[in-house]
Structure 1
Amino acid sequence: MIKLLYVNYLKNFQFELEFSDGTQGVFDLAEYLNNHHGPLLEPLRDEKYARRCFIDAGALCWPNGLELAPARLHEPRYLKSVA
């Protein structure tokens, strides 16, 4: 089972991620929010709130209880290579 080990906010809703299999990349939260909607996602549209992310049990989380599964974030459509 893959886990998220490291998250670092870069800028413009982009997060640098590193996973337990050694994969690294950039997750674009703004792009994700353009395609996903719901009450738990709404606070993340505020950059200050989005930056409050943390890792819990290998998932990317926020204080409102939202968790994004590491397997989902690891998918090529969400994780862009670090150039």
Structure 2
Amino acid sequence: MDIVPSVIRATYEGDFRIHVTFHDNLQGTVDFQAWLEGPVFEPLKDRTYFQQFFIDGGTVVWPNGADVAPETLYDAVQATRSSPALQPTAPARVKRRG
């Protein structure tokens, strides 16, 4: 059985970037700007609101329930480690909490 990646630490890095650390110590900075599409992500376009993220359920979450699947974040970090010029382009998987 594969273990689902789990974010254990997240730090704001400026603009729409968050540095994430996973349970296996993989870490890197993810630029969320390309993922800020659709109604649930609309409030995150405000940098002040974007900075209100927290960790819940092993991923990065915002007060309105927006989040990005930890697998998506993990893949984005792995991609940037393989080639620093790569930016995440896959759409985020969105879960609504509530």
Which TM-score applies when normalising by structure 2?
Answer: 0.72
One-letter code of the match for 1:26? Answer: T
- Structure 1 counterpart of 2:57: 57
Please identify which structure carries the higher strand content: 1
Task: Using CA pairs under 8 Å that are at least 6 residues apart, name the structure with larger relative contact order, 1 or 2.
Answer: 1
- Report the count of equivalent residues: 77
Distance 1:38 1:30 in 2: 12
Distance 1:50 1:43 in 2: 8
Distance 1:74 1:16 in 2: 11
Q: Deviations over 1:16-50 (max 9, x none)?
A: 100011100001011333xxx21111001110000
- Structure 1 counterpart of 2:38: 38
RMSD: 1.4
Q: Secondary structure at the match of 2:64?
A: coil
Unmatched tracts of structure 2, length 5 or more: 85-98
